[in-house]
Structure 1
Amino acid sequence: MSDALRVCFITKMYPPRTGGGATYAYELANALGELGHEVDVYTQSVPGEDDDVSTHPNVTVTRITKARPLVVFSTLYFSIACRFRIDFDEYDVIHGTLMPASTIALGPRLLDEADAPLVLTSHGTSYDEARSVDPQSPPDYLFKYVFHPINVALDAVAGRFADHIIGVSDHTREQLRDLYRFDPDDLTTVPPGIDADRFRPTDEVHPAVDTDRESILVLSRLDPRKGIDKAIRAFAQLEREDAELLIAGTGRLEESLRELAAELGVSDDVRFLGFVEDEELPELYSSVDLFMLPSEYEGFGIVFMEAMACETPVIGTEVGGVPTAVDDGETGYLVPKDGIRELAARMDELLGEPGEYERMADESRTWAINHDWTAIAERVGRVYAESR
């Protein structure tokens, strides 16, 4: 392609680490490489994990530090290492793919050592994330009242020195504009993409799914912010004798969630699948009838896109960036954050109306195809061009 750029990616989150931030950096780097750009990714290694991650020939991955248990020190160490290991003058664009953790890219800018424009991606503001946490333990209090105020301050600093900020949802872009008073001309919404070739409907049935029952899937860390307790409470109100709730993921809430299911009398119909490998996900999404995640907050919610790409309608909450990911009434439904009754009603509606279900399944697949990573990389490339 013409105007191919040398792009410097800085991110703590990259495979084999999991999560939306890691997926975003990996898929975007490969898609930019496919478009002809040269992308150098600077990230961390993960002790005990295989760091040999396949990439596009135009993508080079350099792991300059190891991830460490204490996130503050890990970030600081990574920041210092980036400062001394990267020659920023070699690049046409510097892209911190996870704001504010990628604000270490600011170092050369503050010291006037780099002429390349700085682009940051915000997956959701720290302000929103802190507000969504209801402290239940000492780590929660530390997370909400120590780490997040620091991140809010870093968000503010980052925005002042960035040439452009990409918000993964309209909500995030509006928060950056209204709360941080960033220049609207320097803000653009570009959602994450989806690998529609990988995430597609399949006739193969995942071994965890009973095809004789109506299966509803929740896929998430078992974390208070994800609202999995509300999923169980809503499922308990569902008057469908042949339905089951599958909860895929691990986390510190598993025991309390099992106790809640028993207390509500649905423990026989709620199954905990534990961690599901990435390669199993398309088959799992395709095998279930419905996906839901009633989060307290999501910067975007890539899991919704993955399910929709497999022609599985979704239900999410009207929070954060979820309305950008879910087209209410077309690819699924949105319900109020605390709307347990509404959540149960929407589950019953989708499972009980085959015609509406099939329409939404078709719309979901079409939506995903229109948001493949190539299209998203082209939009990010335009942001790069406008920032230079």
Structure 2
Amino acid sequence: MHSVVAFTDTYLPTVNGVTYTVESWRDRWRARGGRMDVVYPDSNDYDPEDGEYPIRSLPFPFYDGFRFGLPRVPRTVRDVDIVHAHTPFALGLGGLRLARREDLPFVVSYHTPSSEYASYLTSRERFESGIERLSESYERWFLGHAAAVAVPSEATKRDLRRRIGDDVPIRVVPNGVDVDRFRPVDATAFRERHGLTDSETLVGYTGRHGHEKRLSDIVDAVDGLDATVVFGGDGPAREHLEAKARKRGIDARFLGFLDREELPAFYSSLDAFLFPSPVETQGLVALEANACGTPVVGVDCGALSDTIEEGVTGYHYDLGDTAGFRAAIERTFAEADELKRRCLDRRESMSVEHAVDRLAEMYDAISAEA
């Protein structure tokens, strides 16, 4: 098994898709007899384990939960075969520096287009467009140094290939879901804890409340449906969502941040998971919901076009089509039992173990080429 060091700009105690992926891959890699160290920004709120190397960092004021780590390489990181960056930013540059210095294969995981962060830096459209162009140019430069770029879906592969050309190999390596954790569970206690009755039809979303995720489309779509909307998570769009739901008279509950241990019960309590975000590279929460037997209604855009299997694990609607979104929700309600069965039939194919198999294949391939 290869010895790997992963560089990431987001890690524990912050919980998000990147953190979860890095941690779960690391744990499975170790279980298979390999080594995967992690270099991450120090938050002073987390005690590192063996093989975890915090780097001095500063908070990033424009994006909650993100810290700006210095592009350094810890002296204690040594004797590795592969450098794997999960970010193109500060610590990703540290990983690139190590790979160049030691002449090691350099792999990059493409989790989020860097241009998506432009709206967090400015609200002025002209400046935002300029930042997006600069971000895309920088991204092409950074990815151009990789022996391979790992993307979580075929849709993301197609989009990235269009933007960076054919010079860099792109491999699909799904993030994967911990199917031992994410499975159907009794959600009675969860509903009671959050004041939700067994008789309510529940639809919902959990994750970052970012404006780019178009979560207000959920409020528009459920207007007129006999259903309660449940939002887990938090973020800059929450205040707007709450105000819009109040104005429309929508029964919406905002639960705030949910511990990861609560998520299986959250997903299991829903009749449908709603996912209007057009900017996903895979949409891990959609797969987590499916692993719990909950179908997903999502926009037919970006990675969700592939992540959701039409009529199998949920339904799509066209971006901006509120009536289509509402109709897809109603169809999901009507076919709930059959969709649940089909979701559960696909649990193994979405597992972290399957993802790490693909990861190992990529590492073997670039090592052989090197």
Matched, 1:161 2:150: no
Cα distance per residue 1:77-124 (max 9 Å; x no partner): 521x22x63655x11111112345524322244xx4222211111124
1:104 to 94, 98, 113: 94
Q: What's the C-alpha RMSD, in Å, of the aligned pairs?
A: 2.5
Q: Given that residues 125 and 175 in structure 1 are in contact (C-alpha distance below 8 angstroms), is that contact kept between their aligned partners in structure 2?
A: no
Stretch moving more, 146-155 or 229-238: 146-155
In the alignment, does 2:174 pair up with 1:191?
yes
Partner of 2:198: 211
The question of 1:326 aligning with 2:308 is answered yes
Corresponding residue to 1:275 among 242, 257, 276: 257
- State the match for 2:351 in structure 1: 372
**Structure 2 matches for 1:90-169, cutoff 5 A?**
90-99=79-88, 102-109=92-99, 112-127=100-115, 129=116, 138=122, 144-145=128-129, 148-169=132-153
* Alignment-derived partner of residue 61 in structure 1: 52
How far apart in 2 are the matches of 1:246 and 1:78? Answer: 38
Q: Against the structure 1 CA distance between its residues 126 and 318, is the aligned structure 2 distance closer, same or farther, given a 3 Å change threshold?
A: farther
SS of equivalent to 2:84:
strand
| SS of match in other structure, 1:377 | helix
- Aligned-partner Cα distance in 2 for 1:31–1:236: 43
Q: Secondary structure of 2:37's partner?
A: strand
Decide whether aligned partners of structure 1 residues 229 and 104 sit closer, same or farther in structure 2, where only a CA change above 3 A counts.
Answer: same
The 3-state SS of whatever aligns with 1:98 is: coil
Normalising by structure 1, we get a TM-score of 0.85
The letter of the residue matching 1:78 is L
**CA contact under 8 A between 1:21 and 1:98: conserved in structure 2?**
no
Residues 69 and 140 from structure 1, CA distance in 2 versus in 1: closer, same or farther, beyond 3 angstroms? Answer: farther
CA separation in 1, counterparts of 2:177 and 2:234? 24
Runs of 5+ unmatched residues, structure 1: 54-58
- CA displacement at 1:150 relative to structure 2: 4.1
Provide the rounded CA distance (Å) in 2 between the counterparts of 1:210 and 1:232: 20
- Structure 2 partner of 1:342: 324
1:182 matched to 2:166: yes
Tell me, in whole angstroms, the C-alpha distance in 2 between the residues paired with 1:33 and 1:201. 27
1:230 aligns with 217
Structure 1 equivalent of residue 38 of structure 2: 41
Paired residue type of 2:94: I
- Give distance in 2, aligned partners of 1:202 and 1:293: 21
CA contact (8 A) 1:40 1:60 kept: yes
Give unpaired runs (5+ residues) of structure 2. none
Structure 1 residues 367-376 or 98-107, which shifts more?
98-107
- The letter of the residue matching 1:273 is L
Measure how far apart 1:38 and its partner are.
0.8
Q: How far does the alpha carbon of each residue in 1:260-310 deviate from its partner, in whole angstroms, 9 at most, with x for none?
A: 1222232xx111112212111111111121111211321211110111111
Secondary structure of 1:375's partner?
helix
Once the two structures are superposed, residues 326-359 of structure 1 have per-residue CA deviations (whole angstroms, 9 ceiling, x without a partner) of 11211011111212111111111122x2xx2112
**Contact 1:292–1:315 (8 Å) recurs in 2:** yes
Distance 2:33 2:239 in 1: 48
Rounded to whole Å, the distance in 1 between the matches of 2:308 and 2:23 is: 23
SS of residue matched to 2:85: strand
Using a 3 Å threshold, how does the CA distance of structure 1 residues 38 and 334 change in structure 2: closer, same or farther?
same
Aligned positions of 1:257-336 closer than 5 A: 257-266=241-250, 269-336=251-318
CA distance in 1, matches of 2:102, 2:85: 14
1:200-229 deviation line (CA, Å, top 9, x unaligned): 111242122321110111212222112111
**1-side partners of 2:98 and 2:42: how far apart?**
23
1:46-90 per-residue CA deviation (whole Å, 9 max, x = no partner) reads 24x23357xxxxx72111223423579954x521x22x63655x1
Task: Name the amino acid aligned to 1:166.
Answer: A
Counterpart amino acid of 1:252? P
Give the stretch that moved more between structures: 244-253 or 229-238.
244-253
Instruction: Please tell me the residue identity of whatever aligns with 1:115.
Output: D
1:78 paired to 2:70: yes
